[in-house]
Structure 1
Amino acid sequence: MVAGRSGTQKSGFALFWVAQMNLPTLYFSADMSPFTASARLASMLTDSTTEQVEAGMVAGGASSARFLDALAASRITFSFGAPITWRAVDEELEAYVELWDRYPAVIVFDNLMDFDGAESDYVQQMAVMSGVSELARATGATVIILHHASDKTWEAKSDPWAPPSRDQVKGGLSEKPELSLSVALDPTCMEYRVAVIKQRMGPSDPTARRYAVMWCEPERTRFHATAPRLRPGRTSTDE
């Protein structure tokens, strides 16, 4: 599970993560439109901004061909639509197996509260988590599910750019996965903070006070282990 408050680049982080894995991936998106997902993925793969991708697609010719070639080489298959239903999941998996003669190695659900009936129903959310666990066992795939943390806690108001602790994840559902990550973005310096709040086979910190730091480039859907060098037209404040 990847959990975070609203606006913390959860979808971008998940998309970047699976793109770096470069494994056959089936990505269920209820948060992003097809155009947004394609633009984000193309910007990441070509080191262009999403604005440059959009302009290139409008221009056509060699400009659009560059981005289309990058997308064609990607191993990520998207499924769009809200709400996410188990019938749609079954149909997409059947189509994937028909096309590739195998299950995807990675399945992403973006996000838990976009499943049919799970927007605010805790019982339904628990049922989804059980279904996700069963899906992982049946397919052998690594399943990543995105989820929200509360924006209304005292911690969210007093320290909004710190990763939320495990008890701030909505419904307490971060306890079920093998691994639960809590993420936060500091927009003043573009630090991306990732805490391990639950790990079945390793160390974790449910308070999320210990976290790793990366640097985020939202316009390129990229995350860096070290602070990126300044690009033309940007200032240190922008970075």
Structure 2
Amino acid sequence: MALNAESGKELPRVPALESLYRRGVKFRQGMVVMIAGRSGTQKSGLALFLTAQMGLPSLYFSADMSAFTASSRLASMATGDLGEVVEAGMAGEGRQKYIDALADSNIQFSFGSPITWKQVDEELEAYVELWNRFPSVIVFDNLMDFEGAESDYTEQMAVMQSATELARSTGSTVILMHHASDKTWEAKQDPWMPPSRDQVKGGLSEKPELALTVALDPHSMEYRIACVKQRMGPCDPTARSYAVVWCEPELTRFHATSPMNRGNVIGLPR
């Protein structure tokens, strides 16, 4: 315990997710975390927001987002400017504003689809060469974008096993995005509710130490996060018990309170 106590310490808390922490959810160093949801539920947005707000040295593998999309979302998150404003500013005199806004970012990206383990090895080697340490957080967006894992359950399970081995060998927290089924009765009857654990594709939510499912109500922008598995804390496999935050997809921001109670949107804590 003395040797490994440091590896399991809780990661910095993000104020916007206070309702999730109140339900006993803890993100710890060296654990494997899955964020699962149906299509269009801001899984990548939540992972990007969480990673940026924790402020830890991070390596983000993105097969879904282009380099420009990722940097634009980070700039919108930091400044409160919409994506089209960021794009126009980068093409004109406002470029320095966004470069300065991202100067303190601890996230390094790796782009390419599909994600391969050769790519992961090379990026980690380069990271260690540059910083003489492993990243505190490694994000894979997403599991089904790994080479061969588009529809092959065996390959998907191999990715989960390799991700677990990666977390153990590096001490990094590994966050993976994954899909939940859009074809279940629950998805059709109540699409704005987080999927239960059995709706996560391939049953892969059994493997990580912490599995969250998410859903976004596009009318109220209420963002619901359910903890369907937690090895060292409370969870609800049915996802009927969930935390609520509020989402601004256009700014890749999440808030602890609703717009009615929040008043003017304030800048994010650095």
Whole-Å separation in 2 of the counterparts to 1:218 and 1:58 = 23
Encode CA deviations 1:64-107: one digit per residue, 9 max, x unaligned.
Answer: 10101122210000000000000000000000001111000000
* Aligned positions of 1:1-239 closer than 5 A: 1-59=34-92, 61=93, 63-228=94-259, 229=262
Q: Secondary structure at the match of 1:214?
A: strand
Encode CA deviations 1:127-165: one digit per residue, 9 max, x unaligned.
Answer: 000000000001000000000000000100000000000
Whole-Å separation in 1 of the counterparts to 2:188 and 2:89 = 40
Instruction: Using CA pairs under 8 Å that are at least 6 residues apart, name the structure with larger relative contact order, 1 or 2.
Output: 2
Q: Secondary structure at the match of 1:87?
A: helix
Instruction: Give the structure-2-normalised TM-score.
Output: 0.84
Encode CA deviations 1:34-68: one digit per residue, 9 max, x unaligned.
Answer: 01000000110112221221121122x3x110101
Q: Give the CA RMSD over aligned residues.
A: 1.1
Q: Secondary structure at the match of 1:65?
A: helix
Whole-Å separation in 1 of the counterparts to 2:166 and 2:215 = 28
Matched to 1:150, the amino acid is S
Q: CA deviation at 1:231?
A: 5.6
Query: Which runs of 4 or more aligned residues in structure 1 lie more than 3 Å from their structure 2 counterparts after TM superposition?
Result: 229-232
Q: Which blocks of at least 5 consecutive residues in structure 1 are unaligned?
A: 233-239
Q: Which blocks of at least 5 consecutive residues in structure 2 are unaligned?
A: 1-33, 266-270
How high is the sequence identity, in percent, across the aligned residues? 74
